[in-house]
Protein backbone atom coordinates (compact mmCIF):
# COMPACT_ATOMS: atom_id res chain seq x y z
CA UNK A 1 0.00 0.00 0.00
CA UNK A 2 1.27 3.43 -0.88
CA UNK A 3 1.64 6.22 1.63
CA UNK A 4 -1.48 6.82 3.73
CA UNK A 5 -2.39 10.31 4.92
CA UNK A 6 -4.72 11.57 7.60
CA UNK A 7 -6.93 12.91 4.82
CA UNK A 8 -7.31 9.35 3.47
CA UNK A 9 -8.52 8.23 6.89
CA UNK A 10 -10.84 11.23 7.20
CA UNK A 11 -12.35 10.55 3.74
CA UNK A 12 -12.91 6.88 4.59
CA UNK A 13 -14.58 7.86 7.87
CA UNK A 14 -16.82 10.39 6.12
CA UNK A 15 -17.80 7.76 3.55
CA UNK A 16 -18.96 5.49 6.37
CA UNK A 17 -20.99 8.32 7.91
CA UNK A 18 -22.71 8.95 4.56
CA UNK A 19 -23.63 5.28 4.21
CA UNK A 20 -24.94 5.20 7.79
CA UNK A 21 -27.12 8.22 7.04
CA UNK A 22 -28.48 6.38 3.99
CA UNK A 23 -29.28 3.32 6.09
CA UNK A 24 -31.24 5.47 8.52
CA UNK A 25 -33.32 6.87 5.64
CA UNK A 26 -33.84 3.51 3.88
CA UNK A 27 -37.28 2.04 4.25
CA UNK A 28 -36.70 -1.11 2.19
CA UNK A 29 -35.07 -3.93 4.25
CA UNK A 30 -33.14 -5.21 1.23
CA UNK A 31 -31.71 -1.75 0.59
CA UNK A 32 -30.74 -1.50 4.29
CA UNK A 33 -29.05 -4.91 4.09
CA UNK A 34 -27.10 -3.88 1.00
CA UNK A 35 -26.03 -0.66 2.71
CA UNK A 36 -24.98 -2.60 5.84
CA UNK A 37 -22.74 -4.78 3.68
CA UNK A 38 -21.33 -1.61 2.15
CA UNK A 39 -20.59 -0.30 5.67
CA UNK A 40 -18.72 -3.52 6.48
CA UNK A 41 -16.54 -3.15 3.39
CA UNK A 42 -15.91 0.54 4.13
CA UNK A 43 -15.05 -0.26 7.76
CA UNK A 44 -12.59 -2.95 6.62
CA UNK A 45 -10.99 -0.41 4.29
CA UNK A 46 -10.78 2.13 7.13
CA UNK A 47 -9.13 -0.45 9.36
CA UNK A 48 -6.54 -1.28 6.68
CA UNK A 49 -5.84 2.43 6.21
CA UNK A 50 -5.41 3.10 9.93
CA UNK A 51 -3.13 0.09 10.42
CA UNK A 52 -1.03 1.14 7.43
CA UNK A 53 -0.87 4.72 8.72
CA UNK A 54 0.16 3.55 12.18
CA UNK A 55 2.90 1.31 10.75
CA UNK A 56 4.08 4.12 8.51
CA UNK A 57 4.29 6.58 11.42
CA UNK A 58 6.00 4.03 13.69
CA UNK A 59 8.58 3.45 10.95
CA UNK A 60 9.25 7.20 10.76
CA UNK A 61 9.90 7.29 14.51
CA UNK A 62 11.73 3.96 14.59
CA UNK A 63 9.60 2.98 17.58
CA UNK A 64 9.55 -0.75 18.25
CA UNK A 65 6.26 -2.47 18.93
CA UNK A 66 6.07 -3.12 22.66
CA UNK A 67 3.42 -4.91 24.65
CA UNK A 68 1.00 -2.68 26.55
CA UNK A 69 2.10 -3.99 29.90
CA UNK A 70 5.16 -5.86 31.05
CA UNK A 71 5.93 -7.63 34.25
CA UNK A 72 9.30 -7.89 35.94
CA UNK A 73 9.94 -10.18 38.89
CA UNK A 74 12.21 -8.64 41.52
CA UNK A 75 13.90 -10.79 44.16
CA UNK A 76 13.82 -8.86 47.41
CA UNK A 77 16.83 -8.07 49.52
CA UNK A 78 16.67 -8.82 53.23
CA UNK A 79 16.04 -5.11 53.94
CA UNK A 80 13.19 -5.05 51.42
CA UNK A 81 11.68 -8.25 52.87
CA UNK A 82 11.78 -6.66 56.33
CA UNK A 83 10.23 -3.43 54.99
CA UNK A 84 7.43 -5.36 53.23
CA UNK A 85 6.79 -7.46 56.34
CA UNK A 86 6.63 -4.35 58.52
CA UNK A 87 4.33 -2.42 56.16
CA UNK A 88 2.03 -5.20 54.99
CA UNK A 89 2.50 -8.14 57.31
CA UNK A 90 3.43 -10.31 54.30
CA UNK A 91 6.59 -12.37 54.10
CA UNK A 92 7.54 -12.23 50.41
CA UNK A 93 10.69 -13.40 48.66
CA UNK A 94 9.92 -11.57 45.42
CA UNK A 95 7.34 -9.26 43.89
CA UNK A 96 6.15 -8.54 40.39
CA UNK A 97 6.46 -5.00 39.08
CA UNK A 98 3.99 -4.08 36.34
CA UNK A 99 4.04 -1.30 33.80
CA UNK A 100 5.03 -0.21 30.34
CA UNK A 101 8.02 -2.23 29.14
CA UNK A 102 9.99 0.85 28.12
CA UNK A 103 9.37 2.65 31.40
CA UNK A 104 10.07 -0.45 33.50
CA UNK A 105 13.33 -1.27 31.77
CA UNK A 106 14.58 2.30 31.90
CA UNK A 107 13.47 2.93 35.47
CA UNK A 108 14.90 -0.30 36.90
CA UNK A 109 18.28 0.32 35.28
CA UNK A 110 18.49 3.78 36.88
CA UNK A 111 16.41 3.22 39.98
CA UNK A 112 17.68 4.62 43.21
CA UNK A 113 17.09 2.44 46.27
CA UNK A 114 14.23 4.62 47.58
CA UNK A 115 12.42 4.51 44.22
CA UNK A 116 12.89 0.77 43.90
CA UNK A 117 11.76 0.29 47.50
CA UNK A 118 8.63 2.33 46.78
CA UNK A 119 7.86 0.19 43.71
CA UNK A 120 8.45 -3.00 45.72
CA UNK A 121 6.18 -1.77 48.51
CA UNK A 122 3.45 -0.84 46.03
CA UNK A 123 3.65 -4.33 44.48
CA UNK A 124 3.51 -5.94 47.93
CA UNK A 125 0.44 -3.88 48.85
CA UNK A 126 -1.19 -5.01 45.60
CA UNK A 127 -0.51 -8.65 46.60
CA UNK A 128 -1.95 -8.02 50.07
CA UNK A 129 -5.09 -6.37 48.67
CA UNK A 130 -5.64 -9.24 46.26
CA UNK A 131 -5.19 -11.83 49.01
CA UNK A 132 -7.63 -9.97 51.27
CA UNK A 133 -10.19 -9.73 48.47
CA UNK A 134 -9.76 -13.45 47.74
CA UNK A 135 -10.28 -14.32 51.40
CA UNK A 136 -13.39 -12.14 51.62
CA UNK A 137 -14.84 -13.63 48.42
CA UNK A 138 -14.18 -17.15 49.71
CA UNK A 139 -15.90 -16.34 53.02
CA UNK A 140 -18.97 -15.08 51.17
CA UNK A 141 -19.06 -18.16 48.94
CA UNK A 142 -18.62 -20.43 51.98
CA UNK A 143 -21.64 -18.75 53.61
CA UNK A 144 -23.68 -19.24 50.45
CA UNK A 145 -22.71 -22.91 50.28
CA UNK A 146 -23.78 -23.36 53.90
CA UNK A 147 -27.34 -22.52 52.91
CA UNK A 148 -29.29 -25.76 52.43
CA UNK A 149 -30.17 -25.25 48.78
CA UNK A 150 -28.73 -27.77 46.27
CA UNK A 151 -29.19 -25.39 43.30
CA UNK A 152 -27.37 -22.60 45.11
CA UNK A 153 -24.53 -24.96 46.10
CA UNK A 154 -24.21 -26.10 42.50
CA UNK A 155 -24.07 -22.50 41.26
CA UNK A 156 -21.43 -21.59 43.85
CA UNK A 157 -19.28 -24.58 42.84
CA UNK A 158 -19.61 -23.66 39.18
CA UNK A 159 -18.63 -20.08 40.00
CA UNK A 160 -15.56 -21.24 41.94
CA UNK A 161 -14.34 -23.22 38.93
CA UNK A 162 -14.99 -20.40 36.46
CA UNK A 163 -11.67 -18.62 35.76
CA UNK A 164 -13.55 -15.41 34.87
CA UNK A 165 -15.75 -15.30 37.99
CA UNK A 166 -15.07 -12.07 39.90
CA UNK A 167 -12.48 -11.13 37.31
CA UNK A 168 -10.47 -14.27 38.06
CA UNK A 169 -10.04 -13.20 41.67
CA UNK A 170 -10.47 -16.72 43.02
CA UNK A 171 -7.90 -18.22 40.66
CA UNK A 172 -4.40 -18.60 42.06
CA UNK A 173 -2.04 -16.36 40.13
CA UNK A 174 1.61 -17.29 39.63
CA UNK A 175 3.85 -15.78 42.24
CA UNK A 176 1.04 -13.84 43.81
- The strand pairing partners of 70, in sequence order, are 99
pLDDT of residue 176: 53
Residue 112, pLDDT > 70, answer: no
Q: Indicate whether 128 pLDDT > 70.
A: yes
Domain count, the chain: 2
Residue 86 lies in a domain: yes
Residue 63 clears pLDDT 70, i.e. is over it: no
pLDDT of residue 110: 60
**What is the C-alpha to C-alpha distance for residues 57 and 167, in angstroms, rounded to an integer?**
36
**pLDDT tens-digit series, residues 133-161:** 888 888 888 888 788 888 888 888 888 78
Are 56 and 101 contained in the same domain?
no
The answer to whether residue 172 scores a pLDDT higher than 70 is: no
Range of the domain at 155: 72-168
| DSSP E strand boundaries for the chain | 70-75, 94-99
Q: Among 16-20, 30-34, 42-46, 70-74, name the one with the lowest average pLDDT.
A: 70-74
Does residue 173 surpass a pLDDT of 60?
no
Q: Does residue 173 belong to any structural domain of this protein?
A: no
For 22, 92, 138, 176, the CA distances from 170, given in Å and listed in that order, are 49, 20, 8, 12
Q: pTM here? A: 0.49
Question: In the prediction, which pLDDT does 174 show?
Answer: 44
Residue 174 within a domain? no
Whether residues 76 and 56 fall in one domain: no
- Segment 1-28 shows an average pLDDT of 85
Q: In terms of domains, do 106 and 132 share one?
A: yes
> Using the 8-state DSSP alphabet, how is residue 91 labeled?
-
96 falls within a domain: yes
User: Does 102 score more than 60 pLDDT?
Assistant: no
Q: Quick one: 161 exposed, middle or buried, by C-beta within 10 A (0-12, 13-18, 19+)? A: exposed
Amino acid sequence: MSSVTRQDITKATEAIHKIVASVQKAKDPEKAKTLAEKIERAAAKLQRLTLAYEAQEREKLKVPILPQESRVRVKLTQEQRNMVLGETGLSLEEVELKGSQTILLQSIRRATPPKLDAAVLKAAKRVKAKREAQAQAKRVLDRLEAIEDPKLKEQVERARRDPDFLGGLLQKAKGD
